[in-house]
């Protein structure tokens, strides 16, 4: 970041805190920081002003937008979104089309009620190579593969391409396009043929890094060219200095396996630079450790890793000091701003309750939801590029500095709900189609528990799918309120590919709700139908270690590790969830008076004896129970009564794993039994050491 931009950002933050938003916008505009200036304007819902400002940053006529670099196209896309939100559909559609964002252009027209215009936009996008617009033959010849090949032989590649497209032989069309160096067309044809790796390579040749990444990340992990694709994504991430969630998830397997060829060492090295630039220091340390394991002494990785270790130790120490109120002013700029106090729960009226769904015996019951639908999330790449800048909130969302998502805070009831604010509503009564806080549309119930209901929802401001959990009405309870607030606080501070994200909280008719990352897959519990294959189990556990280490390095202990809190998404990426009873070390724990917090089947002995004195190795004990269950299909300790079960954790030795499943490797058995040691000091010292031990075993299975 150059000095002028840094000074402008710091000054704008001061002006924002004092409510001088116009002055902040002016300061940022003068420094050319148009994206941040637009964020402030969008936070005030001044979308038209934001769009005009962004177009100043673009600084070229719309017809020249396709020639812009990555940064210019980013500003143009943000401007198009702002124009759409301002209702200036003509400007929005023109920009979307110039950026080849045809789907978004069509969606803008559809929302405006212009269905014919939307259809025309989509048709024009396909017009060049749609069969209906191509000749039905050349010189009267029939349209056949042989005829197309004859055209190739005659030196007529353009006509051959047209014939191949007419025959829906997109792979052949792409091959010919590559031969005549029409790389953009080749990428489009390869993508149409489902040849995503080849599409990515073609777009690289065309110089379109964005579309190259979009195709490379669609290469399945089982594809023989997955590592080649991952290598390209890593290279492009460094080239663009950009990393979004789809790229990060795609690279998870690549990073976990470490570099296998000399050329991959440099990709890992450059990924470390990207991670550090985004302040994802744990990720940077992980890739550097992989380099060190594969090639000790490669470039300056040893010194670099030492610097990062020192930096993260300082961050953890600073973070603990910041827990004291008298030192709150020393909060580093990379920390997210503290959340304001939660709004008080309203008092219920004596009048009849209000419901949004049919009531009474005739009301149909909600159909059961398959577990594989729980907490699913797909985030479109364009929204990821602009979410931080354009997330509208009452005072403008403030980026945390180390997150790929915008985080906003909603602590007021919208005008449309004020007349209903004193009515307590049961979450089960909510129906699909209900809109919360003038922003979130409930689409489908995907989960239900003792505390509330989880919906797949749409964020209407950002046009993306999220998960929304709405809690049952509760009396104002200080401890419950503290736990609710704590889960959001802790989750916002933990940014890691193996930790699920929470975004914001709000209040709707007496019910609190939170919005969170929408994940596609199921929790680990639903995968434990018997002993798990050793290689896969180790791969999943290693990722849990990575997520836990990020939390532990922040001084945060989860305290409730169990299969239900480990969510497995596509490509076997694991997300650690639910920091509702997590604690910061050296601070007073938040728990329920008179209760043992945690899950009895997975709780560590020290949690039973003194819940507030737990350390990171307590999480490792719980992970040991999970590992035992994964590889044997059974829990190490079982009882129908709580007290005997807790005493087993304190006193009993677990049965050796190989007595349950003889094929389990002996080193793996020793590792799991070490995790289940009664004394914390007999376990692994930290999650990083455990991950290294798991990786060592994985090499030989």
- Residue 427 DSSP label: G
pLDDT higher than 50, residue 146: yes
Q: Report yes or no on 502 lying in a domain.
A: yes
| 443-467 confidence digits (pLDDT tens) | 999 887 666 788 999 988 777 889 9
The pLDDT of residue 338: 44
Q: Report yes or no on 336 lying in a domain.
A: no
Report phi then psi at 634, rounded to 5: -135, 160
Cα–Cα dist 73/188, whole Å: 19
The pLDDT of residue 301: 92
**Are 139 and 183 part of one and the same domain?**
yes
**Are 299 and 385 part of one and the same domain?**
no
**Are 428 and 461 part of one and the same domain?**
yes
**If pLDDT is split at 50, 70 and 90, which confidence band does 292 have?**
very high
User: What CATH number has the domain bearing residue 137?
Assistant: 1.25.40
The pLDDT of residue 369: 37
The pLDDT of residue 488: 59
**Are 194 and 305 part of one and the same domain?**
yes
User: What CATH number has the domain bearing residue 395?
Assistant: 3.30.200.20
Task: Give the other-Cβ count within 10 Å of 288's Cβ.
Answer: 25
Q: Diameter of the chain by CA atoms?
A: 89
Q: Give me the percent of the chain exceeding a pLDDT of 70.
A: 72
Q: What are the angstrom distances between the C-alpha of 288 and each of 243, 304, 490?
A: 17, 8, 26
Cβ neighbours of residue 319 closer than 8 Å, sequence gap 6 or more: 335, 554, 555, 584
**Are 371 and 467 part of one and the same domain?**
yes
Q: Which comes out higher in pLDDT, residue 39 or 142? A: 39
Write out the catalytic residue numbers. Answer: 560
Q: Which comes out higher in pLDDT, residue 500 or 588? A: 500
**Are 500 and 372 part of one and the same domain?**
yes
**Are 376 and 472 part of one and the same domain?**
yes
| Across 3-12, 339-348, 475-484, least confident range | 339-348
Closest among 239, 192, 193, 243 to 217, alpha carbons compared: 243
Q: Report yes or no on 343 lying in a domain.
A: no
Mean pLDDT computed over 375-392: 35
Cβ neighbours of residue 81 closer than 8 Å, sequence gap 6 or more: 92, 386, 390
**Are 145 and 292 part of one and the same domain?**
yes
Question: In the listed set 290, 318, 346, which residue is the last one of a domain according to the structure?
Answer: 318
**Are 120 and 237 part of one and the same domain?**
no
Report phi then psi at 559, rounded to 5: 75, 5
| 640-666 confidence digits (pLDDT tens) | 888 788 889 988 999 999 999 999 999
Cα–Cα dist 361/401, whole Å: 52
| 148-200 confidence digits (pLDDT tens) | 899 999 999 988 888 888 888 899 999 999 999 999 889 988 988 889 999 99
User: What CATH number has the domain bearing residue 576?
Assistant: 1.10.510.10
Closest among 469, 353, 471 to 420, alpha carbons compared: 353
Question: In the listed set 125, 151, 174, which residue is the last one of a domain according to the structure?
Answer: 125
**Are 508 and 564 part of one and the same domain?**
no
Q: Report yes or no on 511 lying in a domain.
A: yes
| 316-375 confidence digits (pLDDT tens) | 444 344 334 333 333 333 444 444 444 444 443 333 333 333 333 333 333 333 333 333
Task: Give the other-Cβ count within 10 Å of 40's Cβ.
Answer: 24
Answer for the pair 271, 255: CB distance below 8 angstroms, yes or no. Answer: yes
Cβ neighbours of residue 315 closer than 8 Å, sequence gap 6 or more: 281, 332, 334, 553, 554
**Total structural domains within the chain:** 4
**If pLDDT is split at 50, 70 and 90, which confidence band does 480 have?**
low
The pLDDT of residue 487: 54
Closest among 415, 447, 444 to 431, alpha carbons compared: 444
pLDDT higher than 50, residue 305: yes
Q: Which comes out higher in pLDDT, residue 613 or 696? A: 696
User: What CATH number has the domain bearing residue 18?
Assistant: 1.25.40.10
Mean pLDDT computed over 47-51: 90
**Are 197 and 218 part of one and the same domain?**
yes
User: How is residue 286 written in tokens?
Assistant: 């992980």
Q: Report yes or no on 688 lying in a domain.
A: yes
Q: Report yes or no on 495 lying in a domain.
A: yes
Report phi then psi at 511, rounded to 5: -115, 135
Residue span of the structural domain in which 117 resides:
3-125
Cα–Cα dist 440/463, whole Å: 10
The pLDDT of residue 172: 93
| 187-204 confidence digits (pLDDT tens) | 988 988 889 999 999 999
The pLDDT of residue 638: 92
**If pLDDT is split at 50, 70 and 90, which confidence band does 484 have?**
low
**If pLDDT is split at 50, 70 and 90, which confidence band does 398 have?**
very low
**Are 288 and 412 part of one and the same domain?**
no
Answer for the pair 178, 198: CB distance below 8 angstroms, yes or no. Answer: no
Cα–Cα dist 429/440, whole Å: 16
Cβ neighbours of residue 125 closer than 8 Å, sequence gap 6 or more: 100, 102
- The pTM for the full model equals 0.45
List, in sequence order, every residue forming a beta bridge with 464; answer none if it has no partner: 459
Q: Report yes or no on 324 lying in a domain.
A: no
Q: Report yes or no on 251 lying in a domain.
A: yes
Question: In the listed set 294, 318, 342, which residue is the last one of a domain according to the structure?
Answer: 318
pLDDT higher than 60, residue 406: no
Length of the chain equals: 701
Cα–Cα dist 612/608, whole Å: 10
The pLDDT of residue 647: 87
Write out the DSSP string of 108-168: HHHHTT-HHHHHHHHHHHHGGG-GGGS-S-STT----HHHHHHHHHTT-HHHHHHHHHHTT
- Would you give the distance in Å from CA 430 to the centre of its chain? 27
| 521-570 confidence digits (pLDDT tens) | 899 999 999 999 999 999 999 999 999 998 888 778 888 899 999 999 97
| 9-25 confidence digits (pLDDT tens) | 878 877 776 778 888 88
Reduced to 3 DSSP states, what percent helix, strand and coil does the chain have, rounded to the nearest 5? 55, 10, 35
| 407-423 confidence digits (pLDDT tens) | 222 223 233 333 333 33
Q: What are the angstrom distances between the C-alpha of 472 and each of 428, 443, 513, 582?
A: 9, 19, 9, 21
């Amino acid at each position: 970041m150059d000095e002028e931009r840094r000074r402008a950002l710091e000054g704008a933050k001061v002006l924002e805190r004092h409510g001088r938003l116009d002055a902040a916008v002016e300061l940022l505009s003068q420094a050319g920081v148009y994206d941040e200036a637009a964020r402030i304007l969008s936070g005030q819902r001044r979308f038209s002003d934001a769009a005009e400002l962004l177009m100043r940053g673009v600084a070229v006529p719309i017809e020249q937008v396709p020639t812009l670099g990555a940064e210019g196209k980013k500003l143009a896309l943000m401007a198009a979104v702002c124009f759409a939100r301002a209702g200036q559909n003509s400007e929005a559609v023109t920009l979307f089309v110039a950026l080849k964002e045809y789907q978004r252009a069509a969606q803008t027209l559809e929302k405006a009620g212009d269905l014919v215009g939307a259809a025309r936009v989509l048709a024009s996008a396909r017009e060049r190579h749609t069969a209906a617009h191509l000749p039905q033959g050349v010189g009267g010849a029939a349209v056949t593969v042989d005829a197309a090949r004859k055209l190739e032989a005659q030196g007529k590649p353009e006509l051959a391409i047209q014939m191949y497209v007419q025959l829906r032989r997109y792979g052949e069309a792409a091959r010919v396009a590559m031969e005549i160096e029409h790389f953009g067309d080749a990428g489009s044809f390869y993508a149409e043929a489902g040849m995503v790796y080849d599409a990515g390579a073609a777009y690289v040749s065309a110089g379109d890094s964005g579309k190259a990444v979009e195709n490379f990340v669609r290469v399945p992990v089982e594809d023989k060219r997955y590592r080649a694709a991952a290598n390209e994504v890593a290279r492009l991430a460094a080239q663009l200095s950009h990393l979004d969630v789809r790229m990060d998830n795609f690279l998870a397997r690549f990073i976990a396996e470490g570099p296998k060829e000399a050329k991959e060492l440099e990709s890992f090295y450059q990924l470390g630079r990207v991670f550090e630039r985004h302040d994802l220091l744990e990720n940077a340390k992980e890739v550097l450790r992989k380099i060190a394991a594969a090639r000790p002494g490669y470039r300056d990785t040893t010194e670099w890793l030492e610097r990062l270790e020192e930096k993260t130790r300082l961050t953890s120490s600073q973070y603990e000091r910041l827990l004291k109120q008298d030192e709150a002013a020393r909060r580093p700029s990379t920390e997210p701003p503290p959340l304001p106090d939660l709004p008080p729960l309203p008092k219920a009226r004596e009048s009849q309750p209000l419901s949004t769904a049919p009531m009474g015996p005739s009301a149909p019951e909600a159909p059961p939801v398959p577990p594989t639908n729980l907490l699913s999330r797909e985030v479109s790449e364009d929204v990821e590029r602009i979410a931080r800048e354009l997330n509208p909130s009452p005072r403008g969302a403030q980026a945390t500095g180390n997150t790929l998502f915008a985080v906003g805070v909603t602590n007021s009831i919208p005008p449309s709900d004020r007349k209903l604010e004193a009515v307590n509503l049961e979450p089960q009564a909510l129906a699909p189609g209900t809109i919360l806080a003038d922003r979130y549309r409930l689409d489908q119930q995907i989960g239900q528990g003792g505390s509330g209901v989880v919906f797949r929802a749409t964020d209407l401001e950002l046009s993306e799918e999220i998960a929304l959990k709405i809690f049952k009405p509760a009396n104002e309870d200080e401890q419950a309120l503290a736990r609710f607030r704590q889960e959001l606080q802790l989750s916002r501070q933990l940014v890691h590919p193996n930790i699920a994200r929470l975004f914001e909280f709000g209040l709707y008719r007496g019910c609190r709700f939170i919005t969170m990352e929408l994940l596609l897959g199921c929790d680990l519990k639903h995968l434990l139908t018997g002993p798990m294959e050793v290689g896969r189990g180790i791969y999943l556990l290693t990722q849990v270690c990575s997520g836990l280490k990020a939390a532990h390095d922040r001084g945060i202990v989860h305290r409730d590790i169990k299969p239900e809190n480990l969510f497995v998404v596509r490509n076997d990426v694991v997300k650690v969830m639910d920091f509702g009873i997590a604690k910061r070390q050296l601070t007073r724990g938040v728990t329920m008076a008179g209760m043992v917090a945690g899950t009895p089947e997975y709780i560590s002995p020290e949690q039973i004896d003194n819940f507030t004195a737990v350390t990171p190795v307590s999480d490792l004990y719980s992970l040991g129970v999970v590992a035992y269950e994964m590889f044997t299909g059974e829990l190490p300790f079982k009882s129908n009564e709580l007290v005997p079960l807790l005493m087993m954790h304190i006193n009993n030795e677990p049965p050796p794993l190989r007595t349950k499943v003889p094929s389990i490797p002996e080193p793996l058995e020793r590792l799991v039994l070490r995790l289940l040691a009664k004394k914390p000091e007999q376990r692994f010292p930290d999650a990083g050491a455990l991950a290294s031990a798991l990786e060592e075993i994985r090499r030989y299975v």
